[in-house]
Amino acid sequence: MRAHNTPEPATTAGATGSPSTAELAEAEAALAEITEQKAVRLAKRDRLIGAATTPGGGAYPVSVPVTDTIPAVRARFGDLDPDAVTGVTAGLAGRVVHLRNTGKLCFASLQSGDGSRIQAMVSLGEVGAESLAEWKDLVDLGDHLFVSGEVISSRRGELSIMVADWQIAAKALLPLPNLHTELSEETRVRSRYLDLIAREQARRSVIARSQTVASLRRTFTDRNFLEIETPMLQVMHGGASARPFTTHSNAFDTDLYLRIAPELFLKRAVVGGIDRVYEINRNFRNEGADSTHSPEFAMLEAYEAYGDYNSIADLTQTLIQDAALAVSGSHVVTWADGTKFDLGGDWDRIGMYDSLSAAVGYPISPETPLAELRVLADAEGLEIDHPIHGKYVEELWEHFVKGGLTRPTFVMDFPVDTSPLVRGHRSVSGVVEKWDLYVRGFELATGYSELVDPVIQRERFVEQARLAAGGDPEAMRLDEEFLRALEYGMPPTGGMGMGIDRLLMALSGLGIRETILFPLVK
């Protein structure tokens, strides 16, 4: 999917870009506070290491004797009555996210990686004076802690461990952020590990992504598709209209490109007889970054021999609906803001030229003169880079039609001059058998009846080379090796590509930086 160049977001500093005196003072005060806390924790680390009686003990033991997990204990004993005892001993580990030390009875909340919590109760009567004093002296918020003891319920009905034995599992040298205050978006993105500790939605996003990818693979396996891997480093970038990242191989003394798409290699596999093939991969495009685009992103591409853009649209709808079921248990997904979005049923299919004509009130076709399209674009204040017929039509369509799409919609039949790898339409001149799928107002996937005629493909590549020579940084290069593969014969094929990050956006309602676990930030 093509990314659009956008300006960098403004800084939060003053108009000159430099922080004010007050901002500097505030930052220095915060740093001094953290530094002081870190010094205190470093001293505790040293005491733990000095008191260790075995190698690997102290502040960072090699292991602790865990027998159960917090989620498992909650599942088994989560409905205990207040003041109940079980007679069951459990050894648990978790991160300290709440700590209250009061006299002869201390309390801590331990959190597991999935966000489940359990209370640890440390009493003088159970652990003795020395252990209780060490607890108060050595345990801090953020520490990973092992506790062992009987599973009980407190007087307030909170599931707890009455601690008989405890041990630091990993000493935290920096304090956690305030878990009762929402992290800023910048902190969430730059320090995702803190986001995962502090925010349930962050953890749900990671789980949903894993469930989604697993669902995609199941759907493909059920339809006899094979998953393969294609090169990330390529001597010729192709398979999409996008600006590549470049690098250099010392071993081969040659410039290489980071993959912008796996398409041309997957098609080689189809030529070789792998009739149903797909790849879930990382792509890199040296373009703009905004709420729906990232320079590095995950993408799915699939090719089905003896299919076309209609059959591949059916497959794409099934893939997305199966993923919705895996994540939400329903085709109606609930976004992070509480909005419900229906991905069920059969999705609309509209023609690009037909819907644009309806929106402007008069016919626009592949024969519409470029001058007429330019007049319409100028009237709407649209600036078209590298003005050719297809780019005018696509930009005008986005301007007039895209914003009115509410349901998932396949937009069919694109201009030929912007789709060099697509088969010409079987009955309409000047367009190709391509669709884009729009969900939530953004492009989620694209699909083709693939161009398999090597003669026409060469002509399209030559035209792309002319555009590149004219300064179009997104134009493709002529790929002789791919053309040679096509000359051995590629069967009629339907192909599709879909952004995994964007699929998560459609399922969750989140922006792309929230669906990528560790996004690239400046």
Binding site: which residues? 436, 443
User: Token pair of 104, please?
Assistant: 């002869």
The partner residues of 106 in beta bridges, in order of sequence, read 101, 122
Structural contact between residues 9 and 185, judged by C-beta atoms closer than 8 angstroms: no
What's the first-to-final CA gap in the chain, in angstroms? Answer: 22
- In eight-state DSSP terms, residue 293 is B
What sign does the dihedral 398-400-405-409 (CA atoms) show? Answer: negative
Crossing angle for the helix pair 389-400 and 370-379, to the nearest 10 degrees: 30
What is the sign, positive or negative, of the torsion defined by CA atoms of 364, 370, 372, 374?
Answer: positive
Alpha-carbon distance 42 to 23, whole Å? Answer: 28
57: Cβ–Cβ under 8 A, 6 or more apart, which residues?
A: none
Helical spans, DSSP H, in 103-175: 124-127, 129-138
C-beta atoms surrounding 402 within 10 Å: 17
Residues 6+ apart with CB under 8 A from 479: 236, 238, 264, 461
The candidate with the shortest Cα–Cα distance to 286, out of 273, 270, 297, is 297
Tokens of 334: 């609930």
The torsion of the CA quartet 253, 254, 255, 258, rounded to 10 degrees, works out to -90
The CA distances from residue 293 to 306, 324, 511, in Å, are: 32, 22, 9
Contacts of residue 101, Cβ cutoff 8 Å, sequence gap at least 6 = 107, 135, 136
Return d(Cα 116, Cα 94) in angstroms, integer. 9
> Residue 398 gets which letter from DSSP?
H
Alpha-carbon distance of 166 to 173, in angstroms, equals 19
CB-facing half-sphere around the CA of 87: CA atoms within 13 A: 0
Other beta carbons within 10 Å of 487? 13
Please calculate the CA angle 194-143-31 and round it to the nearest 5 degrees.
60
What distance in Å separates the CA atoms of residue 157 and residue 82, rounded to the nearest whole number? 4
| Residue list, annotated binding site for Mg(2+) | 436, 443
Q: Tokens 């393969």 — which residue? A: 228
